[in-house]
Structures are given as structure tokens and as C-alpha cells.
């Protein structure tokens, strides 16, 4: 299981050339607004290009979501050692970020039902109002504000969390689950037409990110050789 660190900790690891820390999953939190009490689907901005409270930026143009779409699960507080509490039923690129729509597991689901129901009700009632992405940095630099600018990264998951970091990431839309039934049935008959399919997400972007990923692996080897 991958360990999680904040972007600030990742930035410190880059400066100190801590190779072990560079392999961990980095997380960043984002705020949403209170929700309609009768809603079944929750749409969040999961990341955007804003400079957050920690002076960090995750560039949405460099976020590779291809593998995430093959297993679009939503976690509670980045706990990838437990079963997911929901799934991302839609993920799409918007003006300056990405937005994802979440469907939670039913309340009577084995194992995760209570956690899923807690998150659903707490979001509806405004007791919690944040999501957070877990990602693997592939290319990055120190920005002028003293934080990290992550120009290339791989989305691993996103989670419901208690504390936000990005003050500009807000609730985009709330839908009744029934509204999407017809569309879901149509997509099941034509699986390549959905807006959240891996084959439709920026193929040229993926090629670019793969090149950056290879360069990062080369850089890590160089760092390890200097530390010996």
C-alpha cells in the first residue's frame, strides 16, 4: 500500500533529495459547497489551476486520468487499505480543471455501507464539504511562491476528506440519480461514446506524460547514484 504525503512534504523531499518520499502518493484537498438534501449524485471540482493555500499548483493539463478511468473508485480520506465508498460515474475536463461526479455505495452495503452513508449525509447537511486528489507526481518544479508546481502527474484516486486546501474548488452541479438512467443504458450499448472513457481522454496528452514519466525515472536513478 502506498503511503500518502502532502505537497508540502513532497516539496521538502525534492529539496532534500529524499528518494523514498518521491515514490509516495501526494494528496491535495479541495472545497465544495453544501448539497441539496434530495440528491443522489455529487459533482465536485476535484482539481484546478489555482494557487492553493499551501502555495502549490497541480496543472490540470498535465493530469493523466487514463488509468484512473479504468478503476474510478472514490475513497474516504485516502484510505486505499479499505474498500471504496463510491465510484466516479463521470469525469470531465472543464475550463481550468477537472470535475468528477460521485455515486456512493448504498447504506445497506456490506462493510462500507456505514462509511458511505456517513459521507453522503454529512455532505448533504454541510458537516463536511471537501474532496482531495491522490496523485503521482511525474514532473514538477519550485514556483515563485515557494510551493510546488506539478506540471505532469497521474491521478490515482480522489477522496472525501474533512479539511480543504484549494479555496476556489466548489460544487458544480447536483443531479438526481434517476436523471442519468437513460444515458447510462445508452452508453452500455455503445461503450465507446461516454465522456469519461479512457480512449477519449486526451491521447496526445498521454503520450507527452509518458515521455515525462520516463525522464522522471531517469532522474530518480541519477539521484540514487549520487546518494550512494
pLDDT of residue 217: 66
Q: Output the average pLDDT for the chain.
A: 78
The predicted pLDDT at position 167 comes to 63
**Alpha-carbon gap, residue 55 to 99, rounded angstroms:** 21
Number of domains in the chain: 2
CA 182, 97, 7, 171 torsion: positive or negative? negative
Q: Kindly state whether residues 125 and 21 are assigned to the same domain.
A: no
Answer yes or no: do 118 and 129 share one domain: yes
- Is residue 99 situated within a structural domain? yes
Residue 184 lies in a domain: no
25 shares a domain with 114 = no
Check pLDDT > 80 for residue 69.
yes
Same domain, 44 and 118: yes
93 shares a domain with 47: yes
Confidence of residue 50 (pLDDT cuts 50, 70, 90): confident
Query: Could you tell me if residue 89 is inside a domain?
Result: yes
Residue 148: what pLDDT? 93
Residue 8 belongs to domain spanning: 1-30
Distances (CA, A) of 31 to 45, 92, 139, 165: 8, 18, 25, 7
Res. 75: pLDDT tops 60:
yes
> By CB neighbour count within 10 A (0-12 exposed, 13-18 middle, 19+ buried), where does 29 fall?
buried
Alpha-carbon gap, residue 212 to 3, rounded angstroms: 23
Grid cell digits, residue 54: 499551501
At 37, the pLDDT band (50, 70, 90 cuts) reads: very low
State the average pLDDT over residues 12-21.
78
Assigned domain for 137 exists: yes
What value does the mean pLDDT take over residues 71-84? Answer: 95
Residue 41 lies in a domain: yes
Task: Give dist(CA 101, CA 196) in Å, integer.
Answer: 11
Contact between residue 137 and residue 26 where contact means Cβ atoms under 8 Å apart = yes
Each residue's pLDDT tens digit, 133-182: 999 999 999 999 999 999 999 999 999 988 767 666 554 445 666 654 54
Same domain, 112 and 26: no
pLDDT digits 0-9 by tens, 85-130: 999 999 999 988 999 999 999 999 999 999 999 999 888 888 888 8
Percent of the chain exceeding pLDDT 90 equals: 39
pLDDT band at 194 (very low <50, low <70, confident <90, very high): very low
pLDDT of residue 31: 59
Amino acid at each position: 500500500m502506498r503511503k500518502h504525503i502532502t505537497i508540502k512534504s513532497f516539496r521538502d523531499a525534492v529539496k532534500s533529495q529524499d528518494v523514498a518520499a518521491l515514490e509516495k502518493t501526494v494528496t491535495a484537498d479541495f472545497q465544495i459547497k453544501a448539497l441539496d438534501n434530495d440528491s443522489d449524485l455529487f459533482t465536485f471540482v476535484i482539481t484546478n489551476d489555482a494557487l492553493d493555500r499551501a502555495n502549490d499548483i497541480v496543472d490540470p493539463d498535465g493530469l493523466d486520468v487514463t488509468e484512473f478511468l479504468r478503476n474510478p473508485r472514490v475513497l474516504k480520506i485516502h484510505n486505499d487499505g479499505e474498500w471504496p465508498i463510491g465510484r466516479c460515474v463521470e469525469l470531465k475536463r472543464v475550463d481550468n480543471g477537472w470535475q468528477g461526479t460521485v455515486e456512493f455505495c448504498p447504506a445497506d452495503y456490506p462493510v462500507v455501507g456505514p462509511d458511505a452513508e456517513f459521507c453522503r449525509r454529512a455532505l448533504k447537511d454541510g458537516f463536511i464539504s471537501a474532496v482531495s486528489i491522490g496523485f503521482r507526481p511525474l514532473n514538477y518544479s519550485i514556483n515563485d511562491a515557494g510551493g510546488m508546481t506539478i506540471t505532469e502527474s497521474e491521478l490515482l484516486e480522489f477522496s472525501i476528506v474533512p479539511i480543504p486546501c484549494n479555496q476556489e474548488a466548489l460544487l458544480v452541479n447536483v443531479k438526481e440519480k434517476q436523471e442519468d438512467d437513460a444515458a447510462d443504458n445508452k452508453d452500455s450499448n455503445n461503450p465507446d461514446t461516454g465522456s469519461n472513457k479512457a480512449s477519449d481522454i486526451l491521447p496526445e496528452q498521454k503520450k507527452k506524460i509518458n515521455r515525462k514519466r520516463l525522464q522522471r525515472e531517469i532522474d530518480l536513478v541519477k539521484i540514487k547514484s549520487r546518494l550512494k
